Structure formats: structure tokens, C-alpha cells
Structure 1
């Protein structure tokens, strides 16, 4: 019988199978090199000393250290908004060198995914979540500019000064979108801009002082008006954002309506405290008002700036800020000379200073601390005791994944390879549109992203019956479930690989035995056990938390 030529369909299947086999082998065996050697070790002693004192004072026993693989998962979620791939897990486990977690923190920080993800998270506080007027405000340009600054680890104080004092077109000088974000109905809301400046960079809410003195803090209505006056001469037009001067038009002063006379009252720019931190050359009639405000906000002696930055970074890493709400911190307590202060003061001390203001350095310090590497599990602790341990920083706090973290984790779990900027264009495009649809259906927390909210029934139903988890679990040639089915080996190996892909850990004997039942013959020729395994892991409570 002559040899039959294989059909095109069979050739295509063989080719797809060869590609899948090669990709799976690469993820399993040909792991990429680990991160480069450390240049220096982060000094987390001040943070560790603070918690050692706090635990002793409150007489609490901290949770045990978390497994390194779980710490990698929480690092990946916090820095990239997704879980580590099977490819990354294999590389991590093959790395037996010293200070592995520190080196992998550096690797994650050097990855462009960190800059892109954190630019989105920070942009929510800096310019909000709405696209606004696309002619005068370009959130996408601002976010791209911010991501580039984060990727280069540009000094944060310099980045903030450029946002507050920037001039030019919102396309050519994206930092000015911080100002134009508050343009509504073709009018610049200077009061809203002053309120956002204080919330974003000093971590305090003074918005209520727009109408009356703050009831719980030292902020007065006059303080708010004085800060808003720094934006009084800010104008925008065909040449972009600029300061009005006598050369480009008569300067316009900031004015408010007097409640008694109902007449406009001109307000001079003024700061609510420490006016000596304004530039020496600053005068009320200066044409560089925003530059003076920027210098005052980022002054090395302005403890509010360092504390607010530390608190927000802590919140982005832990899922909840150390002091909540993240933008409503109390006024800092006075410190005696040499007194280290509280946690935020200690973190700020390592962040603020000549040549410092590096967000990556602050992240490295926090990620290397004992508090960040604690387990989230405390056997035998009741709800009240667990909350007490959480407030004391004696356990890693449990918080629900944000919508983009959920979609990032699901999408990455569907691939054995790392999904990043080097992934094929069609893969990145599919992930983008999936993210848009999923976040819309799952719910977006908006600007108040660090406020803890309970999970909802629609969110649970979306994980159970949504289009995305169903597509990822299906037997597609290039998807992780199919590759695990074809190339991971017998069922126990398949289940173990699925746990690593989805939960970043191996199953217990009990879990493996429970999922092995999916592989028992049931008379259904179309039975696809891995689809059931993935569905089960996606809907496990563990998957939707940051632990």
C-alpha cells in the first residue's frame, strides 16, 4: 500500500504541536538567566526595628515567614499587576544564589512592566481616571511620560516639581496634564487643582477648607485660598500651559467672592506653614508662582511630602496603606533631634535627601523588610485577633486583587511563557481588549483604589461563568491548559504545573487527590480534565487575594 501524503490539516496540527512542545520545554527546562548580581543590599533595619519595638510593646507574636514562592507572587502582583509565569517560577527555583528575593525584586523593578503598571496606579491619584477633554488633557500622554520617568528611576521630587510647575503643550510636555486635568467646561478649576496637589503630594485633604476652616486639622479657609492663588496666573491656550505675565497678557489674579460684601476679593499666594521653605527669591508678585509652590511641596524639610510618598508606596505594595485613608494623614507629630519617629518618618528618612528621592530604592527597602515577607496565615487566630495582628504589622494583610490584577493573573495563568513587551503583538492586543472588557464588568474602584471593599456576587459569578476564564481554560493549541495536558506528563504532574501557573505554589496531597478525580473515566469522550482544574483554581478563594 503506497504511503499516503498527510493532509494540510494534519501538517498544521503537527506544526502547532511542535511549537507548543518547544515552548513548554523552554518554560520547563531552558529557563532564562536570573537577575544580575546585586550592586548593593537595601537597608531595612529601620523598618525592622520599628516593628520589633511595636510587637514587643503590643505583646504580639508575628506570623511566620512566607514561602519564597509566595513572596515572589505578591511582589509580581504589587509591581507588575500580575502573577509570575511558569517560565519565571522555573527560573526563580533554579536560582540558588544568596539574597534571591532581593535580586528578583531588582529584576521586577528593571522590567518595563513595573513602570507601565505603576504609572497607571499613580496616575489615578495624580490626574484621576477619566480621559476628560482630549484636546486640552491627554491622560495617555501623561501616563507614558510618567512610566518613562519611573523606568529611569528619575528623582521623584523632580518629577513632582515638573508636574506642578510645567509649561508647554500637553502633547509635547506631558507633565502639564497634571494641570489641564482640572479643566472642566473650558475653565481651569484652581481650587480643585490646589486640593489635588495637597492630596497627591502631602497626603492630606483640605478640600473642605474651600468653604470653611478644617474641623479636625489646622488648615483654614485662608490657607486653602492662599494655595489656590499659586495657580491664579496659570493660563492655557494655543501655546499650551503658561504663566500670565505683562509680556504675554495682563496678569490675572486669583479672586474669591467675599461672603459679606459679595464682591471679588483678590488673594495673594501663601503657604499654610513654614513660609521660609519658599525660595528666597519668591515674592507675591512673582511670575514663577507654581515653581515656588513646587519647591515648597518637595522641600527636604517638608515631612508631609516624604511621609505621604512612603505611605502611598507602602499601600501599593501591601494592598492597604499603613495610615488610612492614604490621602488624609494627620499632621505629623513634632520630633526631637535624633528621634526616629514612626514608620512613615523612618521610611521618609531613607527616601529624602541629596541624590535620593528614588521610588525604586524605597520599594527595595520595604520589600526587603521582615513585615513584607511575613505569612498571611496565622493558625488558630480568630477574626478579632487577626485584625489586631494586621494593625500591628505582624501579618501580611489580606486584600482583594484589583480588577487589573485579576485580569492580569488570569491572562498570565493561561500562558506558560511570560506575557510582557516581548510577547507577540496579537497576544498583547488580545490581552488589552480582554482587560478593558473585564475591568468594565468587574468594577473599577476609581481614584479611591486603596479603600478596602468587599467582594460582590457579580464578581464571583464573573469568575465562575465569565467569558474570560472560560476562554483561558479551553483546549486552545497555544494556551497553558493544552500545553500542560499534552506535555507536562501524567495527571499528577499536570495538576502540579497548573497550581504553579494559577496559584504560584504546589498542591497539597489532599488538593492533588481531589483534582485527580477529574481524570477518572466517566464515559465522556470529550472530557477535558484540565479545563475543570483551571476552573476550580480560578474560583478558589485563594486566587482572588494578594496573600
Structure 2
């Protein structure tokens, strides 16, 4: 049952700043509206086109070999929603849909992708996704760890399109104070109660940047993989000289890395060593600089494959190899038959580890453009097609994507860095509150997670849903209710705002009957409220298709 409406409240904003926010809103409303940048002209790159063709050919061979028929290509509206959710963490606004509709040319999806990547929202959203992979979700000890500063620094690096290998080398080898040199928070995130957990740093480094799980080797040889306990200890020794001082993260060359023998309980010194590609370890530099160079070395296939798998997962919602941090070692793969991670990884390496180029390549590939709708009802065939990437994977939206989509659906205008302070503050505090109540996915974010009844009830009856389901001059429900358009157009607008698609004939006819039964404007407004509430709470709203 739809909850009763009530006036919109600024309950999520601290009382001490409400007056300031209201004043700024009044100022912003009288200021010219900032126009979002137009989609740039697409830069033609023959090498990228060649890589996309290689990716497509790889999958087409797989589909032919497995006798799997790929799904149809998705329509542009669905691709826009898919892109916006993946790159900005929200659905596109009606304003953006109209801008896209005005674009001409067969390459407008590629041009729109480039526009989304240049938008500041991409850097801000991906910085949060990277932060989770690199330092987790815990705030840690404030005295030596600033997660927010780390995330802001990452956002600047992504916006500037800093090469990925350079970014990773900086994280591993950085020195300085965690406030003035935010990249050092990768190191200080492993500190607790005054002690630096070097084992945690090693595990995080190998998981995040090489896509391998080595953690259990800190106690014994890995039972199923190539990793030995001596490998873990040798890698950890590269962090043996790092220490956290009053003036920040520093390298102390007098320190020796020691471990306690579990049988004799005696301590022994461990020398830094790498488990493979010893020839890629430089002779010059600090221990962490040497480790950083080895991790990102062009001959280290694990690095580029791990990056490709993580970016694939961020774009699709599911990594190519799952879990994202447990990739098969390159030694287990056929050298003569490279997989899609090798194709993407080679392009990544040969083009300066360009993050945005990697994403553009994945988005331009055929698997990304496929529909999630199967041409058969046979569960076994559907599962086989899904495993072969012949269907776009159905993935439940992340908590911040749900609240981001609800917020955007409440406004016909784009909510971005050009929005007024009131709208941006509302989004910030609403997202914090919603994610806290809905439940966070933690750092293990690319694994599948089930929905719960409390989560569904929060979307249906939470304070935000109640507020935005009630028509007002400030939200899309009220504005759509007052638009001087036909009822058919009104229904279509509601579907575009909430689901980024037009209604089916059956859906359109159902809601048109509701409007035709209305005898006064108040009833029509109530029908629009009910329509928005139904779309907010449809299963389709909380999934990527």
C-alpha cells in the first residue's frame, strides 16, 4: 500500500547548516543554470577499433564453439541507463535523455560514453569504487588515516586520467603525511593500535593489483596454488623498512624484516624477494619503489590482466573471472590462445595504461551491447548463455546506485557538479543515510549479494521514498503532474524518468485508464504520485535491466 504523503523535510541536513543551505538555494535559483558539456566529437582511433574487433571475435568464436546464440542488441535507452549506472552510479536524467535524442550519427553511443567519462561524476564515482578495493570501507584510526582524503586524491587522478601503472606505483611507494600526501593512506590503512600490519599490506597489494589471493600463504604453503609461505614472506619484506612516524610515512633503511618461526619461536630475518620475474626487479630505489616497479612491470601479465578483470567487473557489474581477486595464474593459461583479459591487457599496456580508453573499449564491445533478455525459456540454455557472456548479466544495483537513481528520478534536471548546493547536499546526506540503513556491500563488492525484505521495505516506505513520492514544486512528481501535455505523454515521461524506457502498450493502456477516471487536477496528481511510487518499487528499478 502506498504510504501517505507529507511535506518534504530537510531532516538529513544538520540543523546548524540549514539556514546557510536555504540561503544558497535562493541564490542558486536566481543564477543562470549551468549547462552540462555537450558530447565531444569522437576521436577516431584505429588501434582501439582493432582491439574491439579482437574482443568481439574472441566471443563469437566462443559462442560458435558452444553453439550459443547471443541475445539481441539492446536499444539506445537501455544502453544509456546501463552506461550511467556503471560510470556515474545513477540513472540518466530526463534532461540527458533529451540531449542524447538530439544527437545525430551512428556513433552517438561512443560519443556519449566519452562525454560520461569526461564528466566529473565519473571520477568521483570510480574513486569510491577504487577506494573500496585499495583500502576497504572502514574509516580506521582518524589520527593516522584519512579515507576521505584518499578518495579525493584518487578522484583527481582519475579526472586527470593519470596512467594506471603510475597511480599504482605511487600508492605502493609514497612517503609523507597522510593529510598532505593523501596517497600514503594506502599504507596507513594497514595500521591499527600503533602497529603497521605488513602482512595486510602484502595481501592488499597482491589482491588489488595482481588479482591473486596470497593471504593464506602467510602461515603455510598455498594448498591449491603456486604460492609458498616463503613467497609471502619475501614480498612482505619489501614493506619491512616502512614505518609511520609523527611526520608521516617514511622509509627507515636500518629496519630489518623479521618473522617468528612457529616451531622454534625464534625470530629470523627475511630478505626481500619476488616469487617470479626476478629479472624485472630493479637494482636501484627503495624497497617499496622496487616492489612498485616489479608489480607494474610490462612483463608482469598479472598486473594488466587484473586491471582488465576489475574494469570489466566495474562496467558489467560482474568480473570476467569471479572472484575478481582470484585470477588463474598466467602459467595456467594457454599462450597460443589469449583470452579477453589478454586482449584488453595488451591494449592497456601498449597505450599507456589509459583507464578511460580501457572503459571505452569494453563499452564498445558486443557483449556490453547485448540485451539481458533471452530468446529461450530453457534455464539450462540461459545459464550457459550467461556464462558465455551471450547475455548481459542481470545484476542487482548497489545501495548507492539505488539511492542515486531515486534521487535523480526525483528531478527532471541532471544532478551533478553544476547543481545548486542544496541539491548536492541533499544527495550527499541522503546517500549516507540510505546506505547505512540499506546495508553496505563492503570491499568485497563485485560478488553477488541477495536482496532482503527490509531493503525492499526501505525503498517502499522509507522517508526518502515518502518524500519524493509526494508531488511538490521541487520534485519531478509535481512537475510532471503540472506539465501541459497529453496523458499518453505524461505516462511516457514517468517511465523515462524512472526506468529510462518507454512503457509497453499494456503498461501505457493501464495507466491511461487511471488518468481517464480522474475528474479534477488533484486526482490526476494523486495518480501521478501512485505511478512514480509503483515505478520506484518495481523490480526493474533495482536491477541493471
TM-score after normalising by structure 1:
0.90
Superposition deviation, residue 488 in structure 1: 4.9
* 1:347 matched residue in structure 2: 344
Alpha-carbon offset, residue 508 of structure 1 = 1.1
Query: Which residue pairs with 1:7 in the alignment?
Result: none
Kindly state the Cα deviation for residue 111 of structure 1 after the two structures are TM-superposed: 0.1
Q: Give the alignment's Cα RMSD to 1 decimal.
A: 2.0
Q: Is the 8 A contact 1:73 1:504 kept in 2?
A: yes
1:382 offset after TM fit, Å? 2.8
Report the Cα offset of residue 381 of structure 1. Answer: 2.9
2:312 matches 1:314: yes
Give the stretch that moved more between structures: 511-520 or 321-330: 511-520
Structure 2 equivalent of residue 35 of structure 1: 39
Aligned to 2:467: 471
- Can you list the C-alpha shifts for 1:39-87, whole angstroms capped at 9, x where unaligned? 2244211110110110011110000000011101100000000000000
Larger mean CA deviation between 252-261 and 305-314 belongs to 252-261
SS in 1 for 2:366: coil
Deviation at 1:517, TM superposition (A): 3.7
The CA distance in 2 between the partners of 1:74 and 1:484, in whole Å, is 24
Partner of 1:8: none
CA distance in 1, matches of 2:76, 2:536: 22
Q: Shift in Å at residue 334 of structure 1?
A: 6.2
Change (3 A) 1:294 1:312: same
- Partner in structure 2 of residue 238 of structure 1: 246
Question: Which residue of structure 2 lines up, in the alignment, with residue 428 of structure 1?
Answer: 424
Aligned equivalents of 1:522, 1:112: Cα separation in 2: 43
Distance 1:266 1:541, change over 3 A: same
Q: 1:153 aligns with which of 124, 148, 161?
A: 161
Q: 1:48 aligns with which of 43, 48, 56?
A: 56
Q: Which residue of 2 aligns with 1:389?
A: 385
Confirm or deny that 1:257 pairs with 2:253. Answer: no
Structure 2 SS opposite 1:265? strand
Deviation readout 1:434-455 (Å, 9 max, x if unpaired): 1011111111110111110121
Is the aligned partner of 1:176 residue 2:184?
Answer: yes
Cα displacement (A) at 1:34 = 3.7
Q: Does 1:105 align with 2:102?
A: no
1:516 CA drift (Å): 2.4
- Tell whether the 8 Å contact from 1:518 to 1:533 is kept in structure 2 after alignment: no
For the pair shown, which has the larger CA radius of gyration, 1 or 2? Answer: 1
Name the structure 2 match of 1:63: 71
Mapped partners of 1:194, 1:102: distance in 2 = 38
Q: Contact 2:386/2:393 (CA < 8 Å) preserved in 1?
A: yes
Give yes or no for contact 1:37–1:103 (8 Å, CA) kept in 2.
yes
Match of 2:275 in 1: 272
SS at match of 1:192: helix
- Mark the CA change 1:336 to 1:500 in structure 2 (over 3 Å): closer, same or farther: closer
- From 183, 192, 207, the counterpart of 1:199: 207
Report the counterpart of residue 76 of structure 1 in structure 2: 84
Give the drift of 1:98: 3.1
How far did residue 387 of structure 1 move?
Answer: 1.6
Contact between 2:36 and 2:418, CA under 8 Å: does it hold in 1? no
Question: Shift in Å at residue 520 of structure 1?
Answer: 4.4
Distance 2:519 2:157 in 1: 58
Indicate the SS of the match to 1:230: helix
CA distance in 2, matches of 1:157, 1:60: 37
**Paired residue for 2:410?**
414
Name the CA shift for 1:92/1:488 in 2 (closer, same or farther; >3 Å). Answer: farther
CA displacement at 1:335 relative to structure 2: 6.8
- Residue range with higher mean Cα deviation, 72-81 or 482-491: 482-491
The aligned counterpart of 1:497 is 493
Structure 1 distance, partners of 2:491, 2:74, is: 22
CA deviation profile, 1:93-141 (whole Å, cap 9, x unmatched): 1112230100000000000000000000111010110110111111111
Distance 2:263 2:477 in 1: 71
| SS of match in other structure, 2:315 | helix
Q: Distance in 2 between matches of 1:538 and 1:488?
A: 24
How far 1:291 moved relative to its partner?
0.3
Name the structure 2 match of 1:486: 482
Retained in 1: the 8 A contact 2:153–2:182? yes
